[in-house]
Structure 1
Amino acid sequence: MTLYKMKKQYFKNMNRLLSISTAIILFWGCNQAQVQNNNSAIEKDSIVSNQEDDQPAFFAKSVLDEEDIKLNDVADISGQKENTVSFIDQRIEALVGSSMKKWCEDKGVAYPPQYVMYRVFKYDEEIEVWAGKSNTDSLTLIQTFRICAMDKFPGPKNTEGDGKTPEGFYSCSNLYGSSYGFMWIKLNTGDVDEYGEVGGGSSFKLFVNYPNNVDRNRITRNFPGRKTGGDICIHGNCVSAGCISFKNRVFLAVYGFQRKHNSAKYGNIQIHIFPYRFDKHNAETFFEYSDYMALDKEVLIKFWDNLKEGFDKFNETHKPLKVTQSGEKYLFN
């Protein structure tokens, strides 16, 4: 199947999914309206009120996006060296540190946390930030954020240039400086949301250590001669060719938590990247796209079952996983 046909089929299938989702939402909305019509006028007014305290529990927002993150007013940055590590750390703390502190304290976690971990769910377009005091204690879910741009289509990265976001168990480290504008953010309260440009502000990102040995072994066996690709990063400016990208103020919070992680004591921060939430979606939903994902169904099932092992194990204990690799498989101790 040609790339054109694969993309055409992809968008056709995604439109089908969108139509189904819209129908479900409309059906749910009609049922809700019928229930609300049985309530008093006062109760109905409270349902549509813009006052946060008036909203019923089912309107509570569980995934935060750009509009949910308030930036603090900070002093002018003219004359400062905006691309130094110390400046970036101090500036992010000044802009969003109070929100990060409140999120931790609301969950009973001391700020700054000593141990931080991420979990990404591609199809759901979400990243979870977990934190605690060490790598042996149970972690607490601090916040879930909306991912703005990424390959959300389930299936691992299999070759250089395929635009896919990897799936698996990785770690990430800091990188600074870039010749790409989308890696730059102006750390001034009124400028954060502007699209980046080279040399304009500060350049910082998280580098994911893809490919690992599991990736290399899978690709070598299933696609002999292919290059694995790489340079998968987490960054701002909402643009992606396989990276995990956020709106800028969301990225400040995600990145800010990584900077609190005690890497000197616990090593680089863990990031688990899953195709979808295994407790929410069924793999059968995605098998019709196997041509686009470029793996045989049996290989894909085996791979996802292995990822689900790690997903389930962490869900049972909320403790950081000790992950090793053997052939095309992850092992969890």
Structure 2
Amino acid sequence: MIASARAAAVVGLCASLAACTSMGFDSASKEPPKLSSKVAAAMSAKGMKPESPVLVRIFKQESELEVWKVDKSGNYALFKAYPMCRWSGKLGPKTKSGDRQAPEGFYHVSSSMLNPNSQYYVSFNLGYPNRLESALGYTGEALMVHGACSSSGCYAMTDAQIGEIYAIVERALKGGQDRFQVQAYPFRMTAKNLAAYKNDPNFPFWRTLKDGYDYFEVTRRQPKVSVCGRRYVFNAEFAGGEPADPLAACPPAVNQLDPQVASRLDVEKQKLDVAMAGGTSSVMNAYVDGGMHPSFRAILKNSGAKDMAGRVSGTKYPISRPEAALADPFSGAR
């Protein structure tokens, strides 16, 4: 009877939580998924090694997650793009607990942030709030990339997808990478896409994110991320070392980018200026809860939420807010 009462209390508590966390009530310890021979062979075909560094990019509007690996050139190359099953909230950064927002920004994930015993199969913690977000007073915790097509502030993949992704990043961390970078964006940060949101209150923040996005696109190298002046600053070396206060003005930079890289980044800035001058702003007519990749939306529409839950989750974890998931506010933008 005591055990039953405790179990009922746990279930009740978990049901009341508004974040993607089990608050310690995870399943019993289990063996984490291993890198399959199929995935290893796919890496080899692209000139990549299982232990080579990894980087993850996430795009809300497109509902896609990308895994990048360093290949034999020494730069990052795309290994695989995964359609995302579910994310919650709307375009824009997460600022407070309970807002259902999935984070946007730059995060760094170490091995201690991997959870092989998550109630959502397996997961890794993004580390929200990061240094900048903490300094700005943003609140929230346990924001994950995990399995099961359910989100209340997290990025949800299918169990099969997150198992594969988990094995990839864990192998890279065991291979010597101390932490891997996650870049989470509202959409692909092209000049055209960003200009469409020029009247959005988040535009200044997104324009800063585009600086890091453009550097990676141009160089295929991981951007160095600093925080000062209440924003991200990329690939800067400062007099006196890294800024200690994310809210204080940035110290003078003492380095310069490679002239060829700087020239190509200037071209991207010019493209944005042109797009801003000629584009029209995109206005969302109504708020809907998050997004889902069109491939999963088709399954949800044709099979229903209960059947889909059985397809994407070993525990048949319910699809979060399936009615909202059927809506597609970004179809015009895509």
- Deviations along 1:20-46, whole A, 9 cap, x unmatched? xxxxxxxxxxxxxxxxxxxxxxxxxxx
Aligned to 1:160: 97
Identity fraction in percent: 27
More displaced 10-residue stretch of structure 1: 161-170 or 99-108 = 99-108
TM-score, normalised relative to structure 2 = 0.56
- Give the superposition deviation at 1:118: 0.3
- Give the superposition deviation at 1:281: 5.0
- Deviations along 1:244-296, whole A, 9 cap, x unmatched? 111111111111111111357331211000110012752354467x5xxxxxx
- Which of 200, 210, 223 is equivalent to 1:308? 210
- Give the superposition deviation at 1:175: 2.1
Structure 2 vs 1, CA of residues 252 and 177 (structure 1 numbering), >3 Å: closer, same or farther? closer
Unmatched 5+ stretches in structure 2: 1-26, 236-334
Structure 2 vs 1, CA of residues 301 and 286 (structure 1 numbering), >3 Å: closer, same or farther? closer
Unmatched 5+ stretches in structure 1: 1-80, 185-203, 221-226, 291-296
- 2:70 partner amino acid: G
Alignment RMSD: 2.5
- Deviations along 1:276-321, whole A, 9 cap, x unmatched? 0012752354467x5xxxxxx2xx2211111000000011111122
Secondary structure, counterpart of 1:266 in structure 2: coil
The separation in 1 between residues aligned to 2:226 and 2:149, in whole angstroms, is 32
Q: Is the 8 A contact 1:216 1:228 kept in 2?
A: yes
Summarize the alignment of residues 113-262 of structure 1 with structure 2, pairs less than 5 Å apart: 113-132=51-70, 137-151=74-88, 153-172=90-109, 173-178=113-118, 181=119, 183-184=120-121, 204-218=122-136, 220=137, 228-262=139-173
The separation in 1 between residues aligned to 2:86 and 2:103, in whole angstroms, is 14
Give the length in aligned residue pairs.
206
Structure 2 vs 1, CA of residues 82 and 216 (structure 1 numbering), >3 Å: closer, same or farther? closer
Secondary structure, counterpart of 1:259 in structure 2: helix
Structure with bigger helix share is 1
Structure 2 vs 1, CA of residues 284 and 316 (structure 1 numbering), >3 Å: closer, same or farther? closer
Structure 2 vs 1, CA of residues 113 and 132 (structure 1 numbering), >3 Å: closer, same or farther? farther
Aligned to 2:43: 104
The separation in 2 between residues aligned to 1:258 and 1:217, in whole angstroms, is 28
Structure 2 vs 1, CA of residues 100 and 277 (structure 1 numbering), >3 Å: closer, same or farther? same
Aligned to 2:32: 88
- 2:203 partner amino acid: I
Q: Is the 8 A contact 1:118 1:130 kept in 2?
A: yes
The separation in 2 between residues aligned to 1:280 and 1:331, in whole angstroms, is 19
TM-score, normalised relative to structure 1 = 0.57
- Which of 277, 287, 302 is equivalent to 2:188? 277
Structure 2 vs 1, CA of residues 159 and 82 (structure 1 numbering), >3 Å: closer, same or farther? closer
- Give the superposition deviation at 1:137: 2.8
